[in-house]
Structure 1
Amino acid sequence: MEQLTFATQWIGLHLNELGLIVAVLAFLLSIVVLAFSAYRYVTVRKDELNNERYGKYHKLIRDISTGSDGAGLLKLASQRAYIYELRHFPEYKVLTKRLLASLMDEWGGEEDRKNAILKDEIKETVSALR
């Protein structure tokens, strides 16, 4: 009878330890799943933000080069502000410098006051991107 009681107690202790191990493993697994989900969310969101950022950059370049946006022709102040805004996209600075240089060449033959002011703004922006 004593052996039966000892065996029952021994099995009971091991079942308690086994239950504790299972609970700890379940907790750790849930933490790993949560961490992976958080990592995945952050990486997907970062990609979305990069895409939005590129869209804004592309729109700025288009509006500067055409001299208009969805509302119509841009005023000189808006075009200057758009050129200045390109400084906030350092990840595209190599391309920005080339695009602004080509705009300066394109506007080279047209020597009016507006183009002179825009060229000065371009020079300052290219200088700031170095």
Structure 2
Amino acid sequence: MGVLVDYFTAGSDESAGWALSGGPGYARLPLVDCKGWIDELDDLVAELSGRDLSEFGDSEVVVDDEASGVERMMPETVAALAAVEDARLREYAEDELLDDYQIERITALRDLAREAVRLNHGMYRWMCV
């Protein structure tokens, strides 16, 4: 059994909580589908930014039940991801031998973080078993 993961933005923890039962797509929130691909955004952001993982705080649980949960990513993580330039994304993709799908997902996550920062929204992770 796997874990389904989407990253999304919302204007508040309350509106992010709407995603609990059906996911952010069901709640009509902007999202990047990362099912079967990436679980821990902090690790990716540390690699992309060249910063130590310890510089980012842990995500905070907004709401959960036995089958699913919503966590808010720390603002430091979101800001660091939003600051990643295209040249760094290309360099990382070459170093890690990423395929087109993976490059597209990373770029979409970075763009989602930029939109969250621009709108002063939170960025969240929805998980479902």
Q: Does TM, normalized by the shorter one, top 0.5?
A: no
Rg (Cα) greater in structure: 1
Higher helix content, 1 or 2: 1
**Structure-2-length-normalised TM-score:** 0.25
Decide which structure has greater strand share: 2
